[in-house]
Amino acid sequence: MSLPPGTLFLLASALLFAIGAHGLVTCRHLLRKVLALNVATTGVFLLLVTLGRSGTAVDPVPHAMVLTGIVVALSTTAVALGLIVRLERRRP
């Protein structure tokens, strides 16, 4: 049993992105949309780092990009959740 390294990770990242994008469109509940967005983001991060490993030297640029991305994703999530809580309070 031999696979080129990274195949499984590429496959999983595609699946994760699909689950996230599908959930983002289909779910009505706003909290679920936030969760779906985070799942899709993780898929993209996995793809970036897996592609960065394909060369001979480990490429630190995707690592730095993903670190930046995780923090930006967290900021987005925090603002989205803050908005959701305020929206819920308005709802009768």
Partner 1 sequence: MRAPPSPTASDPGNGDGLMHPVEITFDALLLFSMVVLAWQGVHARNMFRAVVSFIMFGLLTAVAWVRLEAPDIALAEASLGAGLTGALLLATLGRLAPERRGARRPKVVKLSTLPWLTMGLAGTTVLLAVTLTLPAPGLGEAVLAAMPAAGVDSPVTAVLLNFRAWDTLLEIGVMLLAVIALWSLGQDVLASKPRLPAPALPALVRLLFPLFVLSTFYLLWRGGHGPGGAFPAGALLAAGLVLALLAGAQVPERMRGAPLRWALGAGLFAFLVVAVGLMWAVGTFFAYPPQHASILIAIIEIAAGLSIGVMLTALFLGGEPTDIKGGGK
Q: Which of residues 36-75 bind partner 1 (CB under 8 A)?
A: 36, 38-39, 42, 45-46, 49-68, 70-75
Tell whether residue 90 is a contact of partner 1 (CB under 8 A).
Answer: no
Closest residue by Cα to residue 48 from 35, 65, 71: 65
Quote the least distance from Cβ 84 to partner 1, whole Å. 6
Query: Are 45 and 69 within 8 A, CB to CB?
Result: yes
Query: Are 10 and 50 within 8 A, CB to CB?
Result: yes
Rounded to the nearest 5°, which phi and psi values hold at 13? Answer: -65, -40
Residues that bind partner 1 (CB under 8 A): 1-5, 8-9, 11-12, 14-16, 18-20, 22-23, 25-29, 31-32, 34-36, 38-39, 42, 45-46, 49-68, 70-79, 81-86, 88, 91
